[in-house]
């Protein structure tokens, strides 16, 4: 394949086109070198600085078949999340607690790297991380989902589907789930002792969930590259090139709820102790700044 | 709906859970009498936007009131199967989001998404010049975000798939437009919503290439007289000409805006 431009008479448009093509080929063949060249100059392939987030956008309540829904877009990454409420019997050891079941699906539509079929490893890990984030922060006290202790409780299925995957699905999915839960309303349900059935009176009388307002959380992800910078909010191109990635989850007051190492990137040389801890401190500060903006979006 | 199997690959809820039961159940018969503010031969307004999935070769998002779905095309890419094939393969996969229907759909594949996939496949397969893509596969993936009537879903899916194929630059004989109709007695209603379709005696879905005035797929179910079915097809074909204009316009404006 010849990529050398026509050397006889390069017309300006021809020149631009062949330069673009050469850049594309360079990107495909040497992604690490391609990214490094950008980072050395203090920018990233999409024009951001390493410390810059992508624009976020939230739209809630657009899916009428769900009890609550949200669409979140962070840069190119688009995730739709819907909450479906169903009635179930509680577990024997927790008779007054309902269920919160978060799952994320990365279907084949969202990126060429996913195949149709059962959830990929990445989707499984992501679901577990989201579950851990939502459960450990007690955003929604499960006792508020109780209809009749020991008999019937609400079970909230929080399903997120990725429509367009351009990196950092964790942040987008967590934001979508929190926004969808905020948007969720439940009908008034009553348990009938005689028939043993749980029924709802009306479709129109609905109440919002009693979320812990001060525990609304947002996730913020960072990548670590060999050069001393932490490109935050990585794109799909950058994600596989990171040597480590980690996420910070922050609540409304800016308190760090948890920090965890991510799934992408191969294990490699880490930073030395001091450098590593200042890195994390800096990241947490950046996360707190960003969380303020995201919380405003959520309101 | 009850989750019949425990799936280690997902976060699991309780073994069984049920859709809430309401004291005031609405009558299925009322579906036909409900007013939508549109005429019998009118279809729901279409919002169609090509090129929303940046990772795909071509894509389209379609919204007709409460039916919302996204479609992406990957390919032509190398076939996974080792057998040599002179013609390209078209692969259509449809997935319903768990929250897309009135009752939650368990994420395990059921029969309905395949039925929709086959209907969409039939609608678009004869429009694509598959003989130009030997040894290749063209993957068309559809995610249904919200579903309001399976007939409208198939029609919208075909429209989105054809638009996405055009957006991907795959050579076709023409754009495929599609329209559905519900029949009850002598009354024909185009583009029925879920309640109307449930109350109808029968439904017809037609897919055609208006530019070549040829039909690619007709799907009829339920009890419809021969004259009724033919009348439905005629009405649908008329409406498909309008749909075709919407598709062409959306493709044109997406091209001019991206340059």
Give contacts of A108 with chain B, Cβ < 8 Å.
74, 93, 139, 141
Residue B142 has pLDDT above 90, yes or no: yes
Average pLDDT over residues B110-120: 87
The predicted pLDDT at position A53 comes to 83
In percent, the amount of chain B with pLDDT more than 90 equals 46
Q: Of B2, B99, B194, which to mutate for an interface test with A (greatest number of A Cβ within 10 Å)?
A: B99
Q: Are the CB atoms for A134 and A177 separated by under 8 Å?
A: yes
The CATH number of the domain where A186 resides is what? 3.30.230.70
Residue A2 has pLDDT above 50, yes or no: no
Shortest Cα distance, chain B CAs vs residue A70, angstroms? 11
The continuous run of DSSP H or E covering B167 comes out as helix B150-167
Shortest Cα distance, chain B CAs vs residue A194, angstroms? 16
CB proximity B259 to A under 8 Å: no
pLDDT bucket at A274, cuts 50 / 70 / 90: low
B37 half-sphere exposure, CB direction, 13 A CA radius: 2
Give the tokens for residue B199.
């109350």
Provide the residue range defining the domain that includes A134.
Answer: 56-212
Q: Would you call B24 and A66 a contact, using CB atoms and an 8 Å cutoff?
A: no
Window from A57-61, A228-232, B196-200 with minimum mean pLDDT: A228-232
pLDDT tens, residue by residue, A110-119: 888 888 888 8
The predicted pLDDT at position A1 comes to 43
Residue A263 has pLDDT above 50, yes or no: no
Angle at A58 between CA B249 and CA A179, to 5 degrees: 140
Give contacts of A187 with chain B, Cβ < 8 Å.
20, 22
Question: Residues 56..75 of B with a Cβ closer than 8 Å to A: which?
Answer: 56, 66, 68, 70-72, 74
CB proximity B24 to A under 8 Å: yes
Average pLDDT over residues A31-47: 84
The predicted pLDDT at position A230 comes to 67
Nearest chain B Cα to A76, which residue?
B54
In percent, the amount of chain A with pLDDT more than 90 equals 9
Q: Is residue A71 part of a domain?
A: yes
Q: Would you call A159 and B145 a contact, using CB atoms and an 8 Å cutoff?
A: no
Shortest Cα distance, chain B CAs vs residue A221, angstroms? 21
What does the DSSP assignment read for B65-125? Answer: TTEEEEEEEEEEEE-SS-S--SS-EEEEEEEE-TTSSSSPPPSS--HHHHHHHHHHHHHHH
Q: Which residue has the higher pLDDT, A12 or B86?
A: B86
Nearest chain B Cα to A104, which residue?
B10
Shortest Cα distance, chain B CAs vs residue A202, angstroms? 6
Residue A264 has pLDDT above 50, yes or no: no
pLDDT tens, residue by residue, A119-150: 888 888 889 888 888 887 888 888 888 888 88
Instruction: Give SS3 for B207.
Output: strand
Residue B92 has pLDDT above 80, yes or no: yes
Query: Which whole-number Å values give the CA distances from B190 to A23, A297, B40, B220, in the listed order?
Result: 51, 40, 6, 14
Q: Is residue A50 part of a domain?
A: no
pLDDT bucket at B29, cuts 50 / 70 / 90: low
Q: Would you call A85 and B97 a contact, using CB atoms and an 8 Å cutoff?
A: no
Query: Which whole-number Å values give the CA distances from A110 to A24, A41, A106, A204, A251, in the listed order?
Result: 21, 31, 7, 35, 29
Question: Residues 75..114 of B with a Cβ closer than 8 Å to A: which?
Answer: 93, 95, 97-102, 104, 107
Instruction: Give SS3 for B27.
Output: coil
CB pairs under 8 A between A and B: 152
Residue B149 has pLDDT above 90, yes or no: no
Burial class (CB in 10 A: 0-12, 13-18, 19+), B7: middle
What does the DSSP assignment read for chain A? Answer: ---S--SS---HHHHHHHHHHHHHHHHHH-HHHHHHHHHHTT--TTS--TT-PPPEEEEES--TTSSEEEEEEETTEEEEEEEEEEEEPPPTT-TT--EEEEEEE--TTS-TT--SSSPPHHHHHHHHHHHHHHHHTTSS-GGGGEEETTTEEEEEEEEEEEEE--S-HHHHHHHHHHHHHHH-EEE-EEEETTTTEEEES-SS-EEE----GGG-EEEEEEEE-SSS---BS--TTTGGG-SEEEEEEEETTS-EEEEEE-SSS-------HHHHHHHHHHHHHHHHHHHHHHHHHH-
The predicted pLDDT at position B1 comes to 45
The predicted pLDDT at position A161 comes to 93
Q: Is residue A86 part of a domain?
A: yes
Give contacts of A109 with chain B, Cβ < 8 Å.
53, 56, 70-72, 95, 141-143
Task: In whole angstroms, give the CA distance from residue A132 to residue A111.
Answer: 25
Task: In whole angstroms, give the CA distance from residue A218 to residue B231.
Answer: 55
Q: Are the CB atoms for A247 and A171 separated by under 8 Å?
A: yes
Query: Which whole-number Å values give the CA distances from A206 to A43, A200, A201, in the listed order?
Result: 49, 10, 10
Q: Would you call A63 and B145 a contact, using CB atoms and an 8 Å cutoff?
A: yes
Q: Would you call A76 and B54 a contact, using CB atoms and an 8 Å cutoff?
A: yes
Q: Would you call A80 and B9 a contact, using CB atoms and an 8 Å cutoff?
A: no
Q: Tell me, what's the ipTM?
A: 0.84
pLDDT bucket at A4, cuts 50 / 70 / 90: very low
Give contacts of A166 with chain B, Cβ < 8 Å.
54-55
Residue among B9, B14, B56 whose CB faces A89 most closely: B14
Window from A149-153, B66-70, B120-124 with minimum mean pLDDT: A149-153
Window from A126-135, B3-12, B131-140, B154-163 with minimum mean pLDDT: B3-12
The predicted pLDDT at position A268 comes to 42
The predicted pLDDT at position B32 comes to 72
Average pLDDT over residues A185-212: 82
pLDDT bucket at B258, cuts 50 / 70 / 90: low
Residue B64 has pLDDT above 70, yes or no: yes
Task: In whole angstroms, give the CA distance from residue B42 to residue A266.
Answer: 56
Domain residue ranges of chain B, discontinuous segments joined by +: 39-253
Options 3.40.50.2300, 3.30.230.70, 3.40.50.10540, 3.40.50.300; CATH for B39-253 is 3.30.230.70
Farthest CA pair distance, chain B: 59
Q: Is residue A226 part of a domain?
A: no
Mean pLDDT of chain A: 81
Q: How many residues does chain A have?
A: 299
Residue B257 has pLDDT above 80, yes or no: no
Number of domains in chain A: 1
Q: Would you call B53 and A80 a contact, using CB atoms and an 8 Å cutoff?
A: no
Q: Which residue has the higher pLDDT, A2 or A296?
A: A296
Q: Of B1, B8, B13, which to mutate for an interface test with A (greatest number of A Cβ within 10 Å)?
A: B13
Mean pLDDT of chain B: 86
- If one counts every other C-beta atom within 10 angstroms of the C-beta of residue A13, the result is 8
What does the DSSP assignment read for B127-153? Answer: TB-GGGSTTEEEEEEEEEEE-S-HHHH
The predicted pLDDT at position B160 comes to 94
Q: Of B1, B55, B139, which to mutate for an interface test with A (greatest number of A Cβ within 10 Å)?
A: B55
The predicted pLDDT at position A286 comes to 80
Average pLDDT over residues A45-71: 87
């Amino acid at each position: 394949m010849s990529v050398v431009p026509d050397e006889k008479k390069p017309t300006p448009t021809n020149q631009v086109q062949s330069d673009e093509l050469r850049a594309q080929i360079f990107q495909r063949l040497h992604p690490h070198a391609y990214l490094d060249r950008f980072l050395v100059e203090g920018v990233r392939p999409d024009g951001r600085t390493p410390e810059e987030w992508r624009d976020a956008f939230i739209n809630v309540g657009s899916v009428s078949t769900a009890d609550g829904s949200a669409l979140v877009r962070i840069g190119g990454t688009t995730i739709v999340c819907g909450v479906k409420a169903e009635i179930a019997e509680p577990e024997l050891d927790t008779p007054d607690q309902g269920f919160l079941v978060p799952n994320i699906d990365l279907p084949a539509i969202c990126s060429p790297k996913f195949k149709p079929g059962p959830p990929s490893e990445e989707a499984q890990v992501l679901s577990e991380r989201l579950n851990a984030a939502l459960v450990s922060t007690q955003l929604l006290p499960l006792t508020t989902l109780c209809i009749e202790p020991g008999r019937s409780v609400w079970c909230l299925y929080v399903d997120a589907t990725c429509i367009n995957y351009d990196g950092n699905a964790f942040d987008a999915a967590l934001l979508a789930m929190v926004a969808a839960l905020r948007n969720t309303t439940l009908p008034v349900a009553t348990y009938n002792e005689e028939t043993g059935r749980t029924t709802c009176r009306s479709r129109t009388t609905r109440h919002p969930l009693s979320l812990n307002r001060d525990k609304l959380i947002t996730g913020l992800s960072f990548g670590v590259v060999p050069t001393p910078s932490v490109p935050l909010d990585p794109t799909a191109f950058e994600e596989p090139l990171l040597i480590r990635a980690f996420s910070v989850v922050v609540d409304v007051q800016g308190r760090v709820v948890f920090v965890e190492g991510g799934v992408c990137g191969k294990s490699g040389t880490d930073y030395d102790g001091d450098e590593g801890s200042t890195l994390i401190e800096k990241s947490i500060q950046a996360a707190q700044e960003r969380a303020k903006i995201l919380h405003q979006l959520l309101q | 709906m009850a989750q019949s199997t425990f799936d280690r690959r997902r976060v699991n809820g309780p073994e069984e859970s049920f859709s809430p039961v309401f004291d005031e159940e609405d009558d299925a018969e009322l579906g036909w009498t409900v007013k939508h503010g549109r005429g019998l031969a009118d279809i729901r307004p279409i919002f169609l936007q090509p090129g929303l999935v940046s990772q795909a070769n071509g894509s389209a998002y379609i919204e007709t009131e409460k039916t919302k779905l996204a479609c992406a095309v990957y390919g032509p890419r190398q076939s996974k199967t080792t057998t040599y094939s002179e013609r390209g393969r078209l692969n259509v996969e449809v997935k319903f989001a768990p929250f897309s229907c009135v009752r939650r759909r368990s994420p395990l594949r059921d029969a309905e998404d395949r039925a929709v996939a086959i209907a969409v496949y039939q609608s678009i397969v004869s429009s694509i010049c598959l003989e130009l893509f030997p040894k290749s596969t063209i993957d068309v993936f559809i995610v249904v975000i919200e579903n309001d009537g399976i007939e409208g879903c198939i029609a919208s899916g075909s429209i989105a798939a054809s638009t996405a194929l055009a957006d991907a630059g795959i050579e076709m004989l023409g754009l495929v437009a599609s329209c559905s109709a519900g029949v009850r007695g002598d009354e024909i209603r185009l583009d029925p919503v879920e309640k109307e379709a449930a109350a109808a005696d029968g439904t017809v879905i037609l897919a055609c290439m208006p530019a070549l005035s040829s039909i690619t797929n007709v799907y009829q179910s339920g009890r419809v007289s021969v004259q009724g079915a033919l009348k439905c097809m005629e009405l649908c074909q008329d409406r498909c000409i309008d749909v075709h204009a919407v598709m062409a316009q959306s493709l044109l404006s997406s091209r001019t805006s991206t340059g």
